[in-house]
């Protein structure tokens, strides 16, 4: 994944696409920081899962910023953050739709034999083991709660 990001950065630099260059440099910096934090050094190789985790954090940070910008009426800054998310999502696996997630949750509830909201953790753990990185955790938690209550 790191090689792909570096290649995309070179391409963006040649195309003089400043937003892509800025976002990809930020990603590389975050990956380097994660590598250092894990004791691998600045040139250390992160696993694919670690890379995705870093990128997901960057996306979540931008989602939070969008919410804050919209709440104070700064639509242009929110739009810029959304553009950055669009660039970052290229490097993440395709997310499940709400319908797909609901079906996966129903399977998880049957498999784990969850009875009520107290079993939320079992269902979420099953989802994480089967579909790690392919769904929105916040939405999943909300749907699991709805399905276990009803």
pLDDT in tens, 60-113: 999 999 999 999 999 999 999 999 999 998 988 888 888 988 898 889 888 888
Q: Which top CATH class is 2-91?
A: mainly alpha
Domain boundaries, the chain: 2-91, 98-149
Query: What is the rounded average pLDDT of the residues 41-59?
Result: 84
Kindly report the pTM of this predicted structure: 0.71
Distance CA 124, CA 114 (A): 11
Q: Locate tokens 């739009």: which residue?
A: 79
Q: Phi and psi for 92 in degrees, rounded to 5? A: -105, 155
DSSP reduced 3-state for 119: helix
CATH 1.20.58 fits 98-149, yes or no: no
Q: Are 127 and 140 in contact (CB under 8 A)?
A: yes
Question: Are both 2-91 and 98-149 of the same fold?
Answer: no
pLDDT confidence bin for 21, thresholds 50/70/90: very high
Q: How far is CA 8 from CA 24, 78, 130, in A?
A: 8, 24, 30
């Amino acid at each position: 994944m790191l090689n792909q990001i570096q290649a995309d950065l070179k391409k963006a630099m040649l195309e003089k696409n400043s937003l892509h260059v800025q976002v990809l440099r930020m990603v590389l910096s975050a990956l380097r920081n994660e590598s250092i934090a894990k004791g691998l050094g600045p040139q250390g190789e992160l696993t694919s899962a670690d890379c995705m985790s870093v990128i997901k954090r960057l996306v979540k940070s931008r989602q939070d910023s969008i919410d804050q910008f919209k709440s104070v009426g700064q639509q242009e800054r929110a739009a810029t953050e959304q553009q950055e998310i669009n660039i970052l999502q290229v490097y993440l696996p395709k997310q499940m739709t709400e319908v797909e997630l609901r079906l996966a949750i129903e399977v998880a509830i049957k498999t784990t034999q969850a009875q009520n909201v107290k079993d939320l953790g079992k269902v979420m753990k099953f989802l994480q083991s089967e579909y790690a990185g392919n769904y929105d955790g916040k939405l999943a938690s909300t749907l699991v709660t709805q399905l276990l209550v009803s």
